[in-house]
Structure 1
Amino acid sequence: MSRLIYFIGSTEEAIAMQVLEAIVTDSPSRATPPTGFYNLRIRTSNAGQGTRFSDASVYLRLIDDFRNAVRTHFEFGRPRCEMVFLGDILKVSVFRAFVLDGLKGLMKYTDSIQKAFLTLMEFLHEKRKHGRSIRNLMTTIPASGNKEAKTIAALALHLFSELVADKKYEVDENVKEISRVCDCGCNARICIGNTSIGSQRTWHGSVNILVDGNIAVAVKEKTNALEEDNCTDEDEPEIKHGRIDEDVLHKDVSTTNNECILLDETYMSRFIAESVTNGFAQVNMNRDTLTNFMIPTFGATSRHVSICLYDSENDYLLHIKDILELWYPDEEGPVGELNNTTIALLWIFLNFTLFTRKHVCASVDLDKSGLHEELKEQLECYRKIKTKSCISSKTNFESVWKLFEPVVKRPKGQVQE
């Protein structure tokens, strides 16, 4: 237990027990809807065309069903999408042991699990400090600054990396205006590196953040339409929805309630493409340890977080039903503080090899996403991709055009002399 014993009987232990108890007792019988993940099916995509993440196109079955329902004025009721409860994805026994006996109940578990819980305790102990750091970075962006770069640095250093034992992460080296040192005042060095995934024959590009070497984070912020396009050439064109309200942001990042950009169709295409591609890459590189896991990918803004899970071996794709609030809303907790439930869920999936189950499909009747079937022979290209690949630049279309040898089409009935 070593350093973990110092948190026995602590406020941090009590907070974690309360939050994790709610997660463990998730069930359909609860009065409040339990946390769940939609079982997504892909209608069509351009996964087989070798496009960049910024050009990814994914058309989901649930979107198709919704549009059909709108056309018929919901004559046949609301469209349905099957959902998996969080409790069916997790190894709940370790959480039950913790809820029952606190940190003492972890004595029988591995060092890795104890280290993970220590990481959570330490984060909860320093939560206000990390929250202030993130807020400071969000509210000190100069008019000409890159909001997205600030968000990437803040979330990488003060959130995602702090919830894994090794504190290991990399920020995309192509991000424009990324600081080498954290601007919140802590002066910590920002770890910058190669976060590329995929190949020219698959979806490919660089993810904004790579945590612990295997978990991708796709960051997006609403920006002023007059500002230059966002931080890397991996990013999609400016999304049409609104911009960050600076006055509201300067009051407190937790008080805004704007439409969440993480559910925008353009962003979702990029997000699913990154989730699928990284899911394949991680299993390809760690077949003995990660096969049959649902590999998580996070979507993030300075206010919200989403989670996508993909099992590349069996082609199952899940997306969290309700976008997570990073900060407490006014009526639910201390204004301006990071949300404990969201922190716990991020911590669980950042440590997915310890806390989530393999072969979820063995106990839950999941629908395949349909991507494997769509890819056909191109599937083999996805089974070879890795991270940190040297992906060449886009093909020069003018050069390709000149390579073709023209074969003349003769008018019908004309006899060739």
Structure 2
Amino acid sequence: MATSKLGLNDFCKSEEEEIVQSVFNNIIRDCNGILPAFLNLVIDCSNAKSGKSFSDAHVDLKLGCECREAYSLDYIKGCPECGCVYTKDILALDIMKEFLKDGVDAIEKYPTATSRSFLSLFEFLRDKRKHEEAIQKLAKDTRINGSKETQIMVGFAHHLFSQLIPGKKYEVNEYAKQLPDKCGCGCMATISKGDTSVGSERTWHGRFDIILNNTIAVTLGNGETKDSDNEDDECHDTNLEPARKQRKVETESTCDICDEVRANNKHDSVLLESKVVEQIIAEAITNGFAQVNRNENTLSHFLIPTIAATVDHVCICLYDPLYDCLLLAEEWMKLWIPQKDILDHKTIVVVWLFLNFTVFTETKMAAKHNLDISGLHAQLQNHLVYYREVETRKQFNSPVVPWSFAKSYKASVCE
């Protein structure tokens, strides 16, 4: 693959530099929900021992059980609580603060991996309009031959996620329906396809839609939303939302994280849609183990990201297989600015930070901040050994097709 002709110095005092500084400032100062917090999830039970495919994964969260019980008791004992971690507390903030102060010049003293990550973001932002138009054409143009879902998968792989990592290395599921050899947006780029499978017959398993840099999994859904037929249904009681527990990471006194989450009648929290969450969690856990098994020296202390996306939204799940710590963004981030067909800079930069997680995220989060463990290790017991042996690029008899997870991500907690 050809190397970029641009260097970091080409972005000094540039519009791209200003965009990144603005988003960094919002991240560092975030005390009012500008970015979604990450829920510190505990698993009540699952079928992780059963060797099920991702689409058949069952994960019952402790929070979900507590919400159902609280609802049945009419909240006599109050709302359940869930620990939360701010996005900024997961990230390595030193470089962000220095970039705010000195811009591109601040990057020079950091390792090559850091400068290459920044360069990939700057290049994407400079060419953003080209990539926006490509994704929109693949999502909306009915004249494009083949599976629309597959075309969108290709668009996201080639024109979004891979553009945000050095080397732009990706593979899409080679078993995808009507997978083209060339990108259908008109750029005629060759599509990189391959074996995106992970897991084993004794663990959760399946094929991701996209694998980035042989490490980060991306799974796609069609983004349809499901609203209740009855706005006044008691399942949509605004008291159904759990309260956020006092964070275990110390914050400024101005951050009122202990307040109860204010919910609307549509319950936008991704946590409340069971099948979506179950599949994302199963994928994040299985890929987390596979990546640490493959590269223990480099990745064993990180929260490994898994990305879930629709045409309009993106969500991030993080799992540390060493400490058994599971975090899920409390809501989906919007990819596009409404009515403008422009990618949201804030969302793009946040996704970029997690795609380059070995550069921009903290290690040993669970141990440093005494976060709750998910409990999966204890539940697996002797079966844990199979997850500690799990690999990528494993063949299965029943391929998991793209866009296999649930169609909706909006539902009430009592579903």
Give the deviation of 1:390 after TM superposition.
2.9
Question: What per-residue deviation string (whole Å, max 9, x for no partner) do you get for residues 86-120 of structure 1?
Answer: 22211110111101110011121111101111111
The answer on whether the counterparts of 2:269 and 2:331 sit within 8 Å (CA) in structure 1 is no
Identity fraction in percent: 41
Q: Which residue of 2 aligns with 1:376?
A: 381
Give the deviation of 1:56 after TM superposition.
0.8
Return the letter of the residue paired with 1:264: E
Match of residue 20, structure 2, among 5, 16, 20: 16
Q: Which residue of 2 aligns with 1:315?
A: 324
Q: Which residue of 2 aligns with 1:344?
A: 349
Give the deviation of 1:162 after TM superposition.
0.3
1:296 aligns with 2:297: no
Match of residue 267, structure 1, among 266, 272, 276: 276
The answer on whether the counterparts of 1:169 and 1:213 sit within 8 Å (CA) in structure 2 is yes
Give the deviation of 1:382 after TM superposition.
0.3
Moved more, 298-307 or 141-150: 141-150
Q: Closer, same or farther in 2 for the Cα pair 1:184/1:259, shift >3 Å? A: farther
Q: Which residue of 2 aligns with 1:402?
A: none
Question: What per-residue deviation string (whole Å, max 9, x for no partner) do you get for residues 51-93 of structure 1?
Answer: 1112111111121122122222333333221101122211110
Unaligned runs of 5+ in 1: 224-238, 243-256, 395-417
Q: Which residue of 2 aligns with 1:174?
A: 175
Return the letter of the residue paired with 2:92: K
The answer on whether the counterparts of 1:285 and 1:386 sit within 8 Å (CA) in structure 2 is yes
Larger Rg: 1
RMSD (CA atoms): 2.4
Give the deviation of 1:147 after TM superposition.
3.1
Q: 1:310 and 1:25 mapped to 2: Cα distance?
A: 25
What is the SS of the residue equivalent to 1:100?
Answer: helix
The answer on whether the counterparts of 2:324 and 2:373 sit within 8 Å (CA) in structure 1 is yes
Return the letter of the residue paired with 1:372: H
What is the SS of the residue equivalent to 2:39?
Answer: strand
Q: 2:209 and 2:367 mapped to 1: Cα distance?
A: 33
Count of residues paired in the alignment: 358
The answer on whether the counterparts of 1:218 and 1:298 sit within 8 Å (CA) in structure 2 is yes
Q: 2:269 and 2:62 mapped to 1: Cα distance?
A: 21
Give the deviation of 1:21 after TM superposition.
1.4
What is the SS of the residue equivalent to 1:391?
Answer: coil
1:186-225 matches, cutoff 5 A: 186-222=187-223
Q: Closer, same or farther in 2 for the Cα pair 1:145/1:79, shift >3 Å? A: farther
The answer on whether the counterparts of 1:163 and 1:347 sit within 8 Å (CA) in structure 2 is yes
Q: Closer, same or farther in 2 for the Cα pair 1:329/1:345, shift >3 Å? A: same
Q: Closer, same or farther in 2 for the Cα pair 1:260/1:156, shift >3 Å? A: farther
Q: Which residue of 1 aligns with 2:119?
A: 118
TM-score normalised to structure 2 length: 0.81
Q: 2:390 and 2:317 mapped to 1: Cα distance?
A: 19
Give the deviation of 1:43 after TM superposition.
0.9
Unaligned runs of 5+ in 2: 229-265, 400-415
User: Higher RCO, 1 or 2 (CA under 8 Å, sep at least 6)?
Assistant: 2
Moved more, 343-352 or 360-369: 360-369
Q: Closer, same or farther in 2 for the Cα pair 1:262/1:210, shift >3 Å? A: farther
Question: What per-residue deviation string (whole Å, max 9, x for no partner) do you get for residues 187-238 of structure 1?
Answer: 1111110001011010011111000110000111157xxxxxxxxxxxxxxx
Q: Closer, same or farther in 2 for the Cα pair 1:119/1:45, shift >3 Å? A: same
